[in-house]
Amino acid sequence: MNCLDVVDLSSDDELGEVDLKPVKLEPGTIGSMIQQQQNHSVQPVKLFSSKTQARKQASEENKSPNNALSTGQSSTSVLEQCQSPGDDTGVCSTSAVSPAPICRQFWKAGSYEGGLGSKVTLQNSTNYLHVHPLFLHSNATSHKWAFGAVAELLDNAIDEIQNGATFVIVDKTSNPRDGSPALLVQDDGGGMDPEAIRRCMSFGFSDKKSKSAIGQYGNGFKTSSMRLGADVIVFSRHLDDRSLTQSIGLLSYSFLTRTCHDRIVVPMVDYELNLSSGTLDVLHGREHFASNLSILLKWSPFSTEAELLKQFDDIGSHGTKIIIYNLWLNNDGNSELDFDSDEKDICISGDIKKVDTIPAWKAVNEQHIARRYHHSLRVYLSILYLRIPETFRIILRGEIVEHHNIADDLKYIEYILYKPQSVGSVEGAVVSTIGFLKEAPRVNIHGFCVYHKNRLILPFWQVVSYSDSRGRGVVGVLEANFVEPTHNKQDFERTSLFQKLEGRLKEMTWEYWDYHCGLIGYQIRKKSQPPASHYSSHFTGQSSVQESVGLNKTYMVSDRVKGRLDVAEQSIPISSHGRSMQGLPMKRKEHVDLVKIEKVKRQAGTGCKTYLQPLNGIGNHLRDEETRNLLQENKKLRAKCLEYDKRGEELTIKVEELKNEMREVQREYGQLLAELKSLDAVKDEKDVNV
């Protein structure tokens, strides 16, 4: 196989010499990715502003008093690009003071010392406002939790499923320069062309228009990568019907602080495959390419262009690779991401919390998923998405992450339909799955796992606090797409709809506990009855229906108050096989299992008897009416069952009769066939005699 040489690049004299060596590419690796290449003209795009452009821009700003902010951006990137050393216009100033190395602890790395905060140059009496490098750090502080930042990077891969992505890899790699650990995130999605990667590394741009897309703010990549490490380099290959492009971008907090930039500079280089010559053509001009490449080779983990391009070898025809290096350290001076404790996992150092419980229950509490997801990335990723397509895999350190549905950990499950309303209109419908954890009552865990567009936002959100075990072990799962998450996707915006949701989930937890706590060994407790007038209004024109509550059996449902304007909801019970019961459009209100009531009375004594005693004649009448209705319905069902059994016996007898008739017909057929053969023999003898 012949190898093809990339066009040799020469450097800009003003930038000093850049070591650009020919890079050999195998035609089978890239050439086979495109069957046909159309004519595609590449217009050189300037990364640096000229004096004329700067003056023209300043003039336009003076003419327009409303234009108070000028980003000074080029068409290659919305972020500020580095200016040529020979250009004395613009505002990319640096300080002559040599800065100290940045602090490797994230929460202390935002302090600019030693003259790093240089003054902005004035030109033509106009202040140019830019995004200062400190914004990278302050923007990343929205992520209090390192795993929340990792989840942001995975969201981008999940959103690429619509573009054919089949996997995302999260793994440890090393920095070739010093051997320090680095974080690798790679997917086989559609990749980014030069324009898309510039939007990705800029602020506030999002191309995700799909309603199911998780990302929407155009800020996740910057906040997440800068939260995990000081520097990140991105490799992306994009293939379409016109061309194949390769782009490399560097977002380096180390570079910006050490060189004392007063604005964010993002060096990028772009290539396009030329099928006619089998080489990678440089886009946007060789001079600007050389200046950006020199920064990449100095501040990235790779010291030659050949090493940079080698990173595309395992990307395939399309995809993106992200390498975050100079990872942040914790207060003890150790890496915040622990790669050594478990070779198949990534942990957070020192984040294991002690559980205050009796010794016999300590192990089950510490090993529960609600505890482990705080410090185990594998556990967190297993519950991060409510649904994952069968064709997609999350691969952590070489091993597939098994998807885990929290609802599978529940027993005595009940489904409750919740319809939030705002200004008289229904905002959506949410089916909440609620039940006891299978380990209850041994675990002191409770709360709701709330998802938004398939993504976990609030894991085990404790909507209630208890001092007397009320709510212990009650866990729910729901997908709330009618409320908006915050930018870090670790909480929701505190809107009125969210507050209504919080209130309803709190009521739901207490209601479920009060009616079901006896199933896990606690004394059954019910809410105190309202006054007679209020109690009557709840049941005017309403009926209550319920089923007996037993282990692994169905749950009762009954009508709920209809007078609340902000909530419309319905309880959906399930059978022991998980199927929803039909024809019961009511909500739970009263426990009418008479057998269980009598059992509870005997166990609980006088106190329980006093509580279970009806408050007025209306309550007695309703209970009696409901009981009679249930008994009548039960008789009807039993009669139908007997009728079906009788019909089944008749059909069985009919089948046996038909089988007997078939055997008789077959016997007669055999006899007739034998007679026919004998007649044929007699006929043959007569013919011979004649």
Q: Are 416 and 431 in contact (CB under 8 A)?
A: yes
Q: Which of 67-76, 188-197, 298-307 has the lowest mean pLDDT?
A: 67-76
- Strands annotated E in 240-318: 244-252, 268-274, 279-282
**Residue 117 pLDDT more than 60?**
no
* pLDDT score of 132: 83
**Residue 437 pLDDT more than 80?**
yes
Question: What tokens were used for 400?
Answer: 């597939």
Provide the phi-psi class of 268: left if phi over 0, else alpha when psi is between -120 and 50, else beta: beta
**Residue 613 pLDDT more than 60?**
no
> Mean pLDDT throughout 26-35?
49
Provide the phi-psi class of 398: left if phi over 0, else alpha when psi is between -120 and 50, else beta: left
Q: How far apart are CA 473 and CA 469, in angstroms?
A: 9
With vertex at residue 288, the alpha carbon angle to CA 231 and CA 45, rounded to the nearest 5 degrees, is: 105
User: Which has more pLDDT, 82 or 154?
Assistant: 154
pTM over 0.85: no
**Residue 146 pLDDT more than 60?**
yes
Nearest to 60 by CA among 453, 625, 68, 226: 68
Residue 630 burial (CB < 10 Å; 0-12/13-18/19+)? middle
Q: At 409, is the secondary structure helix, strand, or coil?
A: helix
**Per-residue pLDDT band at 275 (split at 50, 70, 90):** confident
Positive or negative, the Cα torsion across 357, 358, 362, 365?
negative
Neighbours of 92 (CB within 10 A): 22
> Mean pLDDT throughout 406-423?
92
* pLDDT score of 636: 81
pLDDT single digits (tens) 649-668: 889 898 989 999 999 899 88
Name the average pLDDT for the chain: 74
State what percent of residues in the chain have pLDDT above 70. 64
> Mean pLDDT throughout 543-569?
36
**Which of the residue ranges 155-159, 346-350, 353-357 has the most confident prediction, judged by mean pLDDT?**
155-159
Residue 87 burial (CB < 10 Å; 0-12/13-18/19+)? middle
**Per-residue pLDDT band at 150 (split at 50, 70, 90):** very high
**Per-residue pLDDT band at 100 (split at 50, 70, 90):** very low
CA 578 to chain CA mean position, Å: 26
Q: Cβ neighbours of residue 49 under 8 Å, at least 6 residues apart?
A: 57, 72, 74, 83, 87, 89, 90
Q: Are 429 and 466 in contact (CB under 8 A)?
A: no
Q: Are 396 and 344 in contact (CB under 8 A)?
A: yes
